[in-house]
Structures are given as C-alpha cells and as structure tokens.
Amino acid sequence: MARAEYEYENQEDLKHTWYLQTIGRATEYAPVRRIKCKGCERVYFTQVHCVKFCYECRFDNIGAMYVKRRKSLEKRENTVCKNCGNTFTPRRSGAVYCSNACRQKAYRERVTDEASHQDDESP
C-alpha cells in the first residue's frame, strides 16, 4: 500500500496522533501535519512534509486545476464595464461589458456613429 493510500484510509488515526502531538503526549517518530488542501481547501492530515494537496486532489492533478481556476477568477475580479462604468466579475476572461444590455447599447452606439460618419463623407 502506498503512503498516500495509507493516509487517505487512516485519516482518523492521523488526526488523533496530531491531537496528541499538540498536547505533548505523542510517541510517534514521524510528526503528523495538519494541512489545508490547496485544491479543495479541506483539512487533511499527513506525515509527509512536502504535501500540499489531499489524496483526491493529487489524483489526476485535480488540485492544480482548482488552483488555476481560483487564480484566473481573482484576476478577473473588479473589471470595469466599458459602457456603464460599473465594476463586475465576468464569467469568462474576455468579457468587456457587464450585461447583454450594455453590450447591445454599445453596439447600437457604434453602428449609429458609423452611419452618421458615412452621411458626412458622401458628395
């Protein structure tokens, strides 16, 4: 059985050992760490010093996907709408307008501006 599988199946035992360590009564050689998974943000107990993800998030690299999604969402926060000037968090990275109404209003303004310029240029 691999170390990760052992830790996954024995979380309650590791939790108890961690508790004994915190009160100073542990007799285990390998210290148990209590971590917050960087992927799903669940509490996970481990004896490995370099673990950042829980067992589920390490499998198929799901944890890295969660972290990447969270970072891209943070980048998009507080985007300013080009039409009305309100701040919003877009659902996709390339969004410029806060709603379909603002997008449509900006389109109509562009079309009418282009049409008025064409009338001025005609002889």
For 97-108, what is the mean pLDDT? Answer: 95
Percent of the chain past pLDDT 90, that is, above it, reads 20
Confidence (pTM): 0.52
Beta bridge partners of 80: 87
Average pLDDT of the chain, as a whole number: 84
For residue 102, the model assigns a pLDDT of 95
Phi/psi at 87 (nearest 5 deg)? -90, 145
Ramachandran quadrant class, 70 (left: phi over 0; alpha: psi -120 to 50; beta: rest) = alpha
pLDDT exceeds 70 at position 100: yes
Residue 106 banded pLDDT, cuts 50, 70, 90: very high
For residue 30, the model assigns a pLDDT of 76
**CA gap 87, 75 in Å, rounded:** 13
For residue 119, the model assigns a pLDDT of 60
Torsion of CA 104, 107, 108, 109, to 10 degrees: 120
